[in-house]
Chains A and B, each alone.
Chain A
């Protein structure tokens, strides 16, 4: 479900935002979100993702550029006329109203009749499995229940677009995982376009159709979760998403789509050139821990092997996590599946490791 880039449902067109007139919080944002798409804005705090969301909701105005909703510019439309549902970080359930009154609020201001209101409220409550809680006050609900109500309230007036600002941040891990599933299920069932802001990469990967990784006011990469994880386009994305081993080196030659990289301690490895151009470039090589191979039989005969010393072995149930010293880097981690044929390594042991050239990506070296 990828978006049509030119005529998306939500379009950010060269949007910039500055609060103080000196620094840009959002720098030249171009983004197109398709109808029915679940898009996540992921990034560290201060990366500009929440500002983008607030501009879309109408609580902030873009300093430059245009935001289009369903083809119409919305820069000058006040928030209450945009018809965008929103779930806030702390839920923002009105404490002086009951759950049912909270849900009826958007319908009331839209002048729905009483019976229609009650029917829609009840349906929305059923939708989040909170049918019996209409008479309670928000303070009488648990965090997870409040979260459901906030979701129901954002959906009860059937908006085409729902914005969620780190909605699961206050929940514990188990509840968060459960709610991730519920939110995606609801969004897909109802066919609503969703823009979801989070700094939690697992959340972003598991929920979204596409993820926009923000850093320093720019989108670093906009791709489906699997692409993002397996083919990060720069070192920031590679390091921000998932666990990652990095080695510093210099490109020796690039041939047939494979780069030969000489690491700083002299060893040579194969890598896929992503944004290195010519021999002599400094590069940061990135390999996922689960893609490191310790069994030579699975690698091609001419693959470069590299020497490693086992520093630590951690048993984690489904996987083994082994910390190695590789090319002077003592934080090189590999993950191996807990399988009958898999050996448990001991600290002090010396082994040889290797990988497929396409799993090892030669990226730009951060300044």
Chain B
């Protein structure tokens, strides 16, 4: 029983709005349906949606630069790459700390590989610099040590920078270790995580920052004890820079022991011999004195980059904006075009070959059509690799087809056709492999066209051809549409067959993606290429929907 209230809303018998009442009634059903598909949904989310999302993310993700070189990424922002000069001393100092921390964590080679995609030679430059960066700051270390040998004592640094509570924790840890060792037990407790003393960051900001990074890097890698190691030479560089910049009043805010250590140093640094960082870096590699390496670091220091996508369409991001790649490195647009053109060719070939077969299948008596259907499906039951390899045997220049052609006399023995390791080979083999995907939807659509339509057309005076073209064919178009979409989408992402029979001229964009995934390890570029491929397919799908209507597609 329902009734319309004054507002026009329908009410159920108990007075609740009918819509809500219906929703409640359907909720249990929906929930049950959801539970039925939940395992599949979960499976798809984990194995399909998540990897795709990850891939889309990787195509713009660029956090490795700002994560590995946090201080430099910050400091280099204001540097003018057009000045023709390498960046200032401040940037170089920040870069030194970043680099030594990255070396300690063994991340500088990964960063080099990443930046090498953008500028050749950076990979080896970073490896080389990784070996040399530890020496930068040695000048200062030696001068500090000459001033007061305590500066090379790890304990001095701990007393200066470590939080008293951490020192207490550390002492307890050390006591436990000593006790364990004397008792002959093994001891695997980690060092308590280092904590910086309050206030140090205000007085000696760069040093505190550098020492904290040092302590964490030492602890992080091989579970080292920061209290057992003197800091890296670059930390002395930071100390020198801090002491030359800080006022004596700030040091006075520290405790007495710190003052006793820092006051003489503060006074002495003015007389220290300065190290020329630019010269030191030029000594490691001449490339550091050129602005373009620094420009590359500056350009790619953002957390997200369009760089991979630009590369994927033969463009390049430079500090001065987007430019086109040099002619000899333009391959991706050409590959995309080739993939599209060849996929369309394969699709067309499948329509031409598949339509008559599907027609025959749909119109033969059941017994013979079943047999024929098995023949159509036979390739499905054979391994893709076997089929593709069979094509190699058939198509090669000394292969079966050429032998027969020569034997018949159609081609000259010297002029044997090149049917493989080029586009022809890819088109032949892929048409064969994808043909069932065209035949099956066509067949299932044709099966539903009653023979009475063609009979009616003939009884109305149409010739066989008119009856086919005006009456039968239009009704089989949904099958063609479905087959074309299926074949085209499969073809555009095909990998194995072009790889095996395509040679160099018959490979697809997917082969390039596979190369970047497994050989060059440039996953970002592979992801960008894959994303563009996905975009192209979706765009074509959308166009098809607008032109033909996706509801007209019938997969049977």
Q: Does B321 contact A (CB under 8 A)?
A: no
Q: Is the interface of B mostly helix, strand, loop or mixed?
A: helix
Stretch at the interface among B12-20, B236-244, B468-476: B468-476
- Determine the chain B residues whose CB is within 8 A of the CB of A81 once the complex forms: 461
Interface positions, chain A 113-144, Cβ under 8 Å from B, are none
- Determine the chain A residues whose CB is within 8 A of the CB of B270 once the complex forms: none
- How many interface residues does A have (CB within 8 Å)? 27
CB distance from B478 to the nearest CB of A (A): 10
CB distance from B122 to the nearest CB of A (A): 62
From known contacts A88-B452, A89-B452, infer whether A95 and B460 are also in contact, taking CB-CB under 8 Å. Answer: no
Q: Does B459 contact A (CB under 8 A)?
A: yes
- Determine the chain B residues whose CB is within 8 A of the CB of A83 once the complex forms: 461
Which listed residue, A84, A95, A110, touches B459 by the CB 8 Å rule?
A84
From known contacts A89-B452, A105-B470, infer whether A157 and B461 are also in contact, taking CB-CB under 8 Å. Answer: yes
Q: Does B254 contact A (CB under 8 A)?
A: no
Q: Does A357 contact B (CB under 8 A)?
A: no
Q: Does B38 contact A (CB under 8 A)?
A: no
CB distance from A12 to the nearest CB of B (A): 19
Q: Does A109 contact B (CB under 8 A)?
A: yes
A86 with B456: CB separation less than 8 A: yes
B460 with A109: CB separation less than 8 A: yes
CB distance from B363 to the nearest CB of A (A): 14
Q: Does B302 contact A (CB under 8 A)?
A: no
Q: Does B409 contact A (CB under 8 A)?
A: no
A92 with B470: CB separation less than 8 A: no
Assembled-state Cα–Cα distance A157/B452 (Å) = 19
Q: Does B450 contact A (CB under 8 A)?
A: yes
Q: Does A313 contact B (CB under 8 A)?
A: no
Assembled-state Cα–Cα distance A83/B462 (Å) = 10
Most chain A beta-carbon neighbours within 10 Å: one of B461, B464, B466, B470: B461
Most chain A beta-carbon neighbours within 10 Å: one of B453, B458, B459, B461: B459
A85 with B459: CB separation less than 8 A: yes
Q: Does A96 contact B (CB under 8 A)?
A: yes
A79 with B455: CB separation less than 8 A: yes
Q: Does B486 contact A (CB under 8 A)?
A: no
B475 with A96: CB separation less than 8 A: yes
Most chain A beta-carbon neighbours within 10 Å: one of B453, B456, B458, B474: B456
From known contacts A90-B450, A157-B461, infer whether A109 and B455 are also in contact, taking CB-CB under 8 Å. Answer: no
Assembled-state Cα–Cα distance A199/B380 (Å) = 47
B455 with A94: CB separation less than 8 A: no
Assembled-state Cα–Cα distance A157/B459 (Å) = 11
A153 with B475: CB separation less than 8 A: no
A80 with B471: CB separation less than 8 A: no
Which listed residue, B453, B458, B470, B474, touches A80 by the CB 8 Å rule?
B458
B462 with A105: CB separation less than 8 A: yes
Most chain A beta-carbon neighbours within 10 Å: one of B450, B452, B458, B460: B460
Q: Does B457 contact A (CB under 8 A)?
A: yes
Q: Does A181 contact B (CB under 8 A)?
A: no
CB distance from B271 to the nearest CB of A (A): 97
Assembled-state Cα–Cα distance A90/B450 (Å) = 10
From known contacts A94-B471, A96-B474, A105-B470, infer whether A88 and B455 are also in contact, taking CB-CB under 8 Å. Answer: yes
Which listed residue, A80, A84, A90, A163, touches B452 by the CB 8 Å rule?
A90
Q: Does B463 contact A (CB under 8 A)?
A: yes
Q: Does A106 contact B (CB under 8 A)?
A: yes
Most chain B beta-carbon neighbours within 10 Å: one of A85, A92, A163: A92
A109 with B453: CB separation less than 8 A: no
Closest residue on chain B to residue A165 by CB atoms: B452
- Determine the chain B residues whose CB is within 8 A of the CB of A59 once the complex forms: 455, 458
- Determine the chain A residues whose CB is within 8 A of the CB of B452 once the complex forms: 88-90, 92
Closest residue on chain B to residue A84 by CB atoms: B459
Q: Does A333 contact B (CB under 8 A)?
A: no
Q: Does A57 contact B (CB under 8 A)?
A: yes
Assembled-state Cα–Cα distance A90/B452 (Å) = 8
Closest residue on chain A to residue B472 by CB atoms: A94
B450 with A80: CB separation less than 8 A: no
B456 with A80: CB separation less than 8 A: no
From known contacts A90-B450, A92-B450, infer whether A106 and B475 are also in contact, taking CB-CB under 8 Å. Answer: no
11 pairs across A/B with beta carbons < 8 Å?
A: A80-B458, A80-B461, A81-B461, A83-B461, A85-B459, A85-B460, A89-B452, A92-B455, A95-B475, A96-B474, A105-B457
Q: Across chains A and B, which 10 residue pairs bring their CB atoms closest together, nearest first?
A: A106-B460, A92-B456, A86-B459, A92-B452, A79-B458, A96-B474, A109-B461, A80-B458, A88-B452, A109-B462
B residues within 8 Å of A by Cβ?
Answer: 450, 452-453, 455-464, 466-467, 470-471, 474-475
